[in-house]
Amino acid sequence: MVPQEERYYQRRIATSQVTSGISIALVLFLIGLLGLILLHASKLSDYVKENIGFSIMIREGIKEAEILELKKQLDRQYYVKSSEYIPRERAAEKLQDELGEDFIGFLGYNPLLPGIDLRIKAPYANVDTLNRIERRLLAIPEVKEVYYQKSLVDAINHNVEKISLFLLAFSLLMLFIAIVLINNTIRLSVYSKRFIIRSMQLVGATEGFITKPFLVKSIIQGIVSSLFAQLILMVLIFFAVDQLPELIELQDPVMLAGLVLFLFFLGAFLSWISTWLAVRKYLRIRTDMLYT
């Protein structure tokens, strides 16, 4: 009868450990998913901002060699992400595609000027900076006119700011919930071993001797759970990229590596601190309270 009871008790402990590990892994997966959304939101914001740019119209009579030299000078500016020279013939082709009509045949000549399309780096894609850049560009002798969508820039920056604040608040809430869930999961796991802790105390084991194996197991459990969560996350990314190849442009290996390390240390740390607090509680609790 005793061996059967021991086996039953061991199965309960093993089941509680597995359940605890799966619960921690799922919570870490949710945190990782949220972190992934935050990283992609940041990259998407930068991508949208860097597609805001200037259309620079060059004055009539400027030679192509001078325009290309101007393009090289602009490429060296700290705020320029990229630039593209648009000859008047190509500008006409683009406008014909948009209009669906041959306006050159109707007019008898090409009224469009050559130009340069500038893409601005994300940190400089705000109204004040763009206004200063516009004034600099207009001061260049070869430049006739400069165009950019001011209302679009305002709308993008305003929406990005609101979304960023919402995601930050939601992230803090999710982190708090994750800490509470992991702490409660581990406390329940330690609760199932409270009589073992008391038995070790009764035979004279010190607090350090009792606590050490719990902490070691908890760190291992946290690491294994974080690895499991990362595996699910990588599979999710793989399928997302497979379905939407455009997401490849938003991937940043450095940021993903940082997220993986964050989950790795978060799983180990939360498991360790929660176990330490739970074991400490049952080391100091009264014997009659063990049955409640």
What's the pLDDT at 161?
A: 73
The string of pLDDT tens digits covering residues 101-148 is 665 666 665 666 788 888 888 888 777 888 888 888 888 888 888 887
How confident is the model over 44-79, as pLDDT tens digits? Answer: 777 777 777 778 888 887 888 888 888 898 888 888
Angle between helices 194-202 and 150-191 (to 10 degrees): 50
The backbone region for 100, taken as left when phi is positive above 0, alpha when psi lies in -120 to 50, beta otherwise, is left
Question: What predicted TM-score, i.e. pTM, was given to this entire model?
Answer: 0.59
Q: What domains, with CATH codes, occur in the chain?
A: 2-47+156-291 (no CATH), 53-148 (3.30.70.3040)
- Please write down the long-range contacts of 184-188, taking CB distance under 8 Å and 24 or more positions apart: 185/19, 185/20, 185/23, 185/24, 185/27, 185/274, 186/20, 186/24, 186/218, 186/271, 186/274, 186/275, 186/278, 187/274, 187/277, 187/278, 187/281, 188/16, 188/20
Q: How far is CA 124 from the centre of its chain?
A: 21
What pLDDT sits at residue 1?
42
What radius of gyration, in Å, describes the C-alpha atoms of the chain?
31
pLDDT value at residue 247: 67
Amino acid at 220: I
Per-residue pLDDT of the chain in tens (292 residues, 90 and over written 9): 445 555 654 565 556 567 767 777 887 888 888 887 777 777 777 777 777 777 888 888 788 888 888 889 888 888 888 888 888 777 767 766 666 666 566 666 566 678 888 888 888 877 788 888 888 888 888 888 888 777 767 777 677 777 777 877 877 787 777 777 777 777 766 766 766 776 776 777 777 777 788 788 888 888 888 888 888 888 888 887 777 776 676 677 787 888 888 888 888 888 888 888 877 776 666 655 555 5
